[in-house]
Amino acid sequence: MMTRFGSRLFDQAFVRSGPIRWLVVGGTLLIAAIAVGSVLMAQNFRERALRNAGRELENTV
């Protein structure tokens, strides 16, 4: 009896929710992935810039 209720609840919440909800969920996940990727790229760029600046300072000395 509990599984039938759980299955029906899942069916109502996700399967019959329509394409608008799936579009919103997909868009949210895409935005989150882009944000994480941007942060990782910015950190990588910062580390490379610091390494290059340190190397150039050592060469100057």
6 found inside a domain: no
pLDDT confidence bin for 61, thresholds 50/70/90: confident
Chain centroid to Cα 6, Å, comes to 29
Range of the domain at 45: 18-60
1 found inside a domain: no
Q: Which two tokens stand for residue 25?
A: 């969920």
Best CA proximity match to 30, nearest among 22, 19, 18, 20: 22
Domain count, the chain: 1
Q: pTM score > 0.75 for this model?
A: no
7 found inside a domain: no
**Residues 11, 17, 19: CA angle, nearest 5 degrees:** 130
The Cα–Cα gap between 59 and 15 comes to 63
**pLDDT tens per residue across span 2-60:** 555 556 666 666 666 688 999 999 999 999 999 999 999 999 999 999 999 999 999 88
